[in-house]
Structure 1
């Protein structure tokens, strides 16, 4: 398998831009029409994601050892879409047809053999992981909404209870589907540690054009049932015993609040400083809960930061700026979560303050709709 040839050919195909996913989906649905019902009715939001993700994974098959955990995770996660081993050849054939179409004379028998071998290897890893996971977990978890609190015009806090235990690490995310937007999954982070009663808290901000977030904020009601996918991600989890600084923007608070819960339950004494950022004071939507938490756990300190509200009497400025002003944070691990822009800007601030990059933990956002370690449905959803 000539991996250099795989990468070069993929770069050639990507020059055709949006024509590539259009051709791919047309080929897939015409050849295997039964697959169409597995996708959402509206395809415009995901077209570029699927082929881009799939092509990059296969073209970089020489890094497969490093990608193994990621591919296994994808394989397990695809069970929620009712993807079976029989679907992988259909996707593979559509991919090869698409490559042949756009590469033209460059599509040689040798290159076709390389792409076939690479895709077969990737598919085998994913299907094996999916098959193995059937022994221990369901394809998805049903989660009844037991409370829905509209905290601001754009933010709601949902409390749900799963029908089976959902084991996740604080800081991870799970994908969520609602019957109001069928076959569209979006990732949200639990805001609490796993509980024996299956109760999970989600923080949801309504985003412009976000069909799922709008449904969860505006229309979902107690008694409705959501579907949850397997937990994913490791960048925001705690795998050390150092003291921590948590910097949250908006509903990026959720996974960091879960980390506070983990700190409270640990058998050793680490300290945690949480800096919660918002533009205006009324957007600090979870402060009563956070303040009660800090009062109950002396090792936890919560500091709000408001950037655009002159009436606010507490710390003013961006959450990252306020956090650095309370430093220096020698020996602390730094966790950042918020919008992609907030995460990037805060990481730059922290680096400029002289903190080593390996001590900064944040999700890296990709071209998919979500963080790279939470890549959603490379073979289906993008």
Structure 2
């Protein structure tokens, strides 16, 4: 990999070219735009290599991949085809470094990973569908490029408040994007997503500006462990930015439903007061629930109240060292807030947030080989 990695872009382009040439039937599994897909392939390979000496976490990672691949329509027969073309691409770009021994090692490694993925997918098939069809039953614009999109799945969709969901839309087939339900499970089985139209984001822009009641979408299985039961009996500190408020809101809704006996401090951040999305809803909840305290932080506008970034405002309160922390929002905000809490004495094991990039490639795998309670993120 050290030899091939500097040519990574060329390797992945060549791999998909020969895969689609030799096995044209697999092309329909992939989106039209392959740039993101090629990057994911490389990062998946790099993580497998990173975990190659840690069998337990390697199995966890490959199992996640196998279950996630069900929603793409992946079949057992596709794995040998991919392995054949992957080794051909590695051999081409490794040059003289490629030997019989290296080919044998890569073959064993790939076959092991593929075997774990296949078994995990088979087990998952016995537990739940690969995807759920769903209909949009409500679409409410909330301003600032945000819409509340409520869908009703065509069959029961079991999930826990705080988890996230992959969604495929008719406007960008084969392209899955992740959104967190903003509600705890409901009797009518509906889920409400808070979607912000991202610049250049074809899926999010379509959901905000073009989706209508009656449109159909596909949902993948729920993922993530940022759930209320992770907190045991500790008080909570929650930090949310933008539509990152959605899973926090779901967790608090679940807490209210189950009769929470702990205190919760919620910090909501934005650049300007107009962008403090969902603040009024949370303030109304705080009026009904004595255990909830809500504070806002605005970083780029002079207003009455708290000014500054969320981490700056977070440092003014506390102490937090006995709390469980739930963070959700832009990656920079989440990372900075996590560092702030770590410096305030919160162990990393008690700081929960979703993966900051492609979830299946970045989900934390436990237990680590050398756990360090307060190691930097």
Rounded Cα–Cα distance in structure 2 between residues aligned with 1:328 and 1:274: 14
Q: 1:134 aligns with which of 125, 134, 149?
A: 125
- CA contact under 8 A between 1:232 and 1:373: conserved in structure 2? no
Question: Greater shift after overlay, 189-198 or 275-284?
Answer: 189-198
1:288-367 aligned at under 5 Å gives the runs: 288-310=280-302, 312-366=303-357
Consecutive unaligned residues in structure 2, runs of 5 or more = 366-377
- TM-score, length-scaled by structure 2: 0.90
Secondary structure of 1:305's counterpart equals strand
Deviation at 1:200, TM superposition (A): 0.8
Rounded Cα–Cα distance in structure 2 between residues aligned with 1:40 and 1:223: 24
| C-alpha distance 321-238 of structure 1, shift in aligned 2 (>3 A) | farther
1:230-309 aligned at under 5 Å gives the runs: 230-235=221-226, 238-239=229-230, 240-266=232-258, 269-309=261-301
The answer to whether residue 221 in structure 2 is matched with residue 218 in structure 1 is no
Per-residue CA deviations over 1:207-243 (Å, capped at 9, x if unaligned) read: 1211111111111111111111011122566422211
Q: 1:372 aligns with which of 362, 367, 373?
A: 362
- TM-score, length-scaled by structure 1: 0.89
- CA contact under 8 A between 1:236 and 1:362: conserved in structure 2? no
Per-residue CA deviations over 1:228-259 (Å, capped at 9, x if unaligned) read: 10111225664222111000111111111111
Secondary structure of 2:346's counterpart equals coil
Residues matched between the structures, number: 364
Partner residue in 2 for 1:24: 15
Deviation at 1:369, TM superposition (A): 7.4
| C-alpha distance 131-81 of structure 1, shift in aligned 2 (>3 A) | same
Deviation at 1:330, TM superposition (A): 3.4
Partner residue in 2 for 1:5: none
| C-alpha distance 371-33 of structure 1, shift in aligned 2 (>3 A) | closer
Partner residue in 1 for 2:159: 168
Q: 1:199 aligns with which of 184, 190, 194?
A: 190
1:141-156 aligned at under 5 Å gives the runs: 141-156=132-147
Q: 1:11 aligns with which of 2, 14, 18?
A: 2
Rounded Cα–Cα distance in structure 2 between residues aligned with 1:374 and 1:159: 29
Question: Greater shift after overlay, 265-274 or 25-34?
Answer: 265-274
Rounded Cα–Cα distance in structure 2 between residues aligned with 1:333 and 1:302: 16
Secondary structure of 2:319's counterpart equals coil
Rounded Cα–Cα distance in structure 2 between residues aligned with 1:53 and 1:69: 13
Partner residue in 1 for 2:373: none
- CA contact under 8 A between 2:182 and 2:249: conserved in structure 1? yes
| C-alpha distance 268-147 of structure 1, shift in aligned 2 (>3 A) | closer
Partner residue in 2 for 1:120: 111
Deviation at 1:267, TM superposition (A): 5.1
Per-residue CA deviations over 1:145-171 (Å, capped at 9, x if unaligned) read: 111121123211111111112222222
- CA contact under 8 A between 1:22 and 1:47: conserved in structure 2? yes
| C-alpha distance 59-92 of structure 1, shift in aligned 2 (>3 A) | farther
Deviation at 1:84, TM superposition (A): 0.9
Rounded Cα–Cα distance in structure 2 between residues aligned with 1:370 and 1:150: 30
- CA contact under 8 A between 2:138 and 2:213: conserved in structure 1? yes
- CA contact under 8 A between 1:263 and 1:272: conserved in structure 2? no
Secondary structure of 1:123's counterpart equals helix
- CA contact under 8 A between 2:321 and 2:344: conserved in structure 1? no
Partner residue in 1 for 2:374: none
Tell me which of the two structures has the higher relative contact order, counting C-alpha pairs closer than 8 angstroms and 6 or more residues apart. 1
| C-alpha distance 289-231 of structure 1, shift in aligned 2 (>3 A) | same
- CA contact under 8 A between 1:143 and 1:227: conserved in structure 2? yes
Consecutive unaligned residues in structure 1, runs of 5 or more = 1-9, 376-382
Instruction: Provide the alpha-carbon RMSD of the alignment.
Output: 2.1
The answer to whether residue 74 in structure 2 is matched with residue 92 in structure 1 is no
Deviation at 1:132, TM superposition (A): 1.7
